[in-house]
Structure 1
Amino acid sequence: MTPPRPLAAADRDAVRRFLAARWGSATILLDGRAIDAAALPGFVARDGDGVAALITLLDEREHCEIVTLDAASPRNGVGTALIELAAQRARTLGLRRLLTRTTNDNLDALRFYQRREFRLHRLVPGAIDLEREADPAIPLIGRHGIALRDEISLIRDLD
């Protein structure tokens, strides 16, 4: 696996395939907006011709949002490296916070982010139920047999 580096135009097709395989699509729903995650800035670690790990980012007024964070082989430190690169990039752009979202069933993500200085920020009850209306392919039951209903935002101050 190569060390993570900024995404380049030459990575876009591989990123689109990786997101489709891991997320079902490169289109991610955020607050009712359809975001093409494959077109966003971010960082990638490659494994031959494929993507080994990826973070995609959306810059907002005062924060940078992590749209996707995924590693083909978890627990090897690359996810943490991607978070730190995203934090450095956000600081360079003058952004004060890093924001991410997950679902109520994603206990692994909640643990991962909190161990990397993110704090619980906001709970949106029923957010996934609303997204399911736009995308019926979103399952009713998520990880660990937990009903998939709510969105949880976590935030990390960069000051």
Structure 2
Amino acid sequence: MMSLSIGPADPAFVRETLTDAFGSTMMAIHGALIDARGDGAAAAYRDGYPIALLTYRDDGAGGWEVLSLVSIVPGAGAGTALLDWLAAEAHSQAVHRLWLITTNENINALAFYQRRGWNLTRLDEDAVTRARSLKPTIPLESGGIPIRHELELELNLR
């Protein structure tokens, strides 16, 4: 594996990556449409080319919410590197909680985050069903699993 570096993400790369992954930069979470570009974005680079993107925002309550983590080259360690970078950034700014929302069918994400110490803290039953009124393009199922619920995971940095 070649070495990775973490740095600011180019706005065009952010827009294109989010649109490719989610259909637009807008995500329907928390009962609202939220711009997934967030307050900050970082990319993992290999040989000068971006291979993963992380976007996040300040939640206004002492934590940072991860809005997106997209790996263009799965298995390269870029997602883990970006999460480690975000945790270090948060710690340096006295932020003690990182958290995110994923959906019930996203088994790979649930495993990925839990292997890295994130804990499942909340289930919002039928939140995705309700979110389709805001973003009708949300698929009904993935891999044969109905997409219905939002799951909150967090990493306590204290």
Q: Please, what TM-score do these two structures have when normalized by structure 1?
A: 0.89
Q: C-alpha root-mean-square deviation of aligned residues, in Å? A: 1.9
Query: How many residue pairs were aligned?
Result: 156
Write the deviation string for residues 58-95 of structure 1: whole angstroms up to 9, x where unpaired. 11222111100010111121110000011111111211
After TM superposition, the structure 1 = structure 2 runs for residues 105-144 of structure 1, keeping only pairs within 5 Å, are 105-142=105-142, 144=143
SS of residue paired to 1:84 = helix
Q: Which runs of 5+ in 1 are unaligned?
A: none
Secondary structure of the residue that 1:117 maps to in structure 2?
coil
What residue number does 1:7 align with? 8
CA distance in 2 between partners of 1:81 and 1:64 (Å): 17
Report 1 or 2 for greater relative contact order, CA contacts < 8 Å, sequence distance ≥ 6: 2
Deviation, 1:45, is 2.1
Q: What percentage of residue pairs aligned between the two structures are identical?
A: 35
Find the aligned partners of 2:4 and 2:48 in 1 and give their Cα distance: 14
Indicate if the aligned counterparts of 2:37 and 2:56 stay in contact, CA closer than 8 A: no
Is the alpha carbon distance of 1:2 and 1:56 closer, same or farther for their aligned partners in structure 2, counting shifts above 3 Å?
Answer: farther
Task: Note closer, same or farther for the CA distance 1:48–1:18 as it changes in structure 2 (3 Å cut).
Answer: farther
Q: Which residue does the alignment assign to 1:85? A: 85
SS at match of 2:121: strand
| Greater helix proportion | 1
Alpha-carbon separation, structure 2, partners of 1:50 and 1:98: 27
Distance 1:20 1:51, change over 3 A: farther
Given that 1:98 and 1:157 are in contact with CA atoms closer than 8 Å, whether structure 2 keeps it comes out as yes
User: What pairs up with 1:2-151 in 2 under 5 angstroms?
Assistant: 3-7=4-8, 11-38=10-37, 40-46=39-45, 51-60=50-59, 61-142=61-142, 144-151=143-150
- Aligned mates of 2:48, 2:22 — CA distance in 1: 19
Q: Structure 2 unaligned runs (5+)?
A: none
